[in-house]
Amino acid sequence: MSDSKGLTYRVEPGGSLHGELRVPGDKSISHRSVILGAVADGTTEVDGFLQGHDTLATANAFRALGVRIDQPSPGRLRIHGVGMDGLRPPAGDLDLGNSGTAMRLIPGALVGQALTARLVGDASLSRRPMRRITEPLARMGAVVRATENGTPPLVIEGRPGGLTAIEYDSPVASAQVKSCLLLAGLWARGTTVVREPGLSRDHTERMLRAFGAEVEVASGSAAVRGGQRLRATPIGVPADISSAAFFMVGAAIAPGSRVRLRDVGINPTRAGVIAVLDAMGARLRLIDQRLVGGEPVADIEIEGSELRGIDIPPELVPSAIDEFPALFVAAACARGETRLSGAAELRVKESDRIAAMADGLQRMGVDATPTTDGMVIVGRTALHGATVDSLGDHRIAMAFAMAALRADGPVRVEDCDNVATSFPGFVELARGAGLGIEAER
- Kindly list the residues in this chain that would bind ligand S3P in the complex (CB under 6 A): 28, 101, 174-176, 179, 200-201, 321-322, 345
In the complex, minimum distance from the CB of residue 406 to ligand S3P, in angstroms, rounded to a whole number? 26
| Whole-angstrom distance, CA of residue 352 vs CA of residue 390 | 10
| Whole-angstrom distance, CA of residue 80 vs CA of residue 278 | 43
Query: How are strands ordered across the β-sheet holding 437-440?
Result: 387-389, 411-414, 8-11, 437-440
By CB atoms closer than 10 A (0-12, 13-18, 19+), residue 171 is exposed
| Whole-angstrom distance, CA of residue 346 vs CA of residue 145 | 25
Q: What are the φ/ψ torsions at residue 295 (nearest 5 degrees)?
A: -120, 130
Q: Is 322 one of the catalytic residues? A: yes
In the complex, minimum distance from the CB of residue 50 to ligand S3P, in angstroms, rounded to a whole number? 11
> Is 415 in contact with 390 (CB distance < 8 Å)?
yes
In the complex, minimum distance from the CB of residue 176 to ligand S3P, in angstroms, rounded to a whole number? 4
CB nearer to ligand S3P: give 27 or 412: 27
| Whole-angstrom distance, CA of residue 177 vs CA of residue 180 | 5
| Whole-angstrom distance, CA of residue 336 vs CA of residue 194 | 40
CB nearer to ligand S3P: give 28 or 233: 28
CB nearer to ligand S3P: give 117 or 180: 180
> Is 216 in contact with 194 (CB distance < 8 Å)?
no
Helices 426-433 + 394-403 axis angle, to 10: 20
CB nearer to ligand S3P: give 16 or 200: 200
Provide CB contacts within 8 A for 70, sequence distance 6+.
Answer: 77, 78, 80
In the complex, minimum distance from the CB of residue 325 to ligand S3P, in angstroms, rounded to a whole number? 11
In the complex, minimum distance from the CB of residue 89 to ligand S3P, in angstroms, rounded to a whole number? 26
CB nearer to ligand S3P: give 240 or 303: 240
CB nearer to ligand S3P: give 209 or 380: 209
| Strand 18-21 with 258-265, pairing | parallel
Q: Among all residues, whose Cβ is closest to ligand S3P?
A: 28
CB nearer to ligand S3P: give 201 or 412: 201
Q: How many residues does the chain have?
A: 441
In the complex, minimum distance from the CB of residue 54 to ligand S3P, in angstroms, rounded to a whole number? 9
| Whole-angstrom distance, CA of residue 137 vs CA of residue 331 | 39
- Find the catalytic residue in 322, 389, 393, 417: 322
Which helix or strand (DSSP H or E) is residue 413 part of?
strand 411-414
| Whole-angstrom distance, CA of residue 20 vs CA of residue 176 | 32
3-state helix, strand, coil in the chain (%, to 5): 35, 30, 40
In the complex, minimum distance from the CB of residue 318 to ligand S3P, in angstroms, rounded to a whole number? 7
Residues labelled as active-site residues: 322
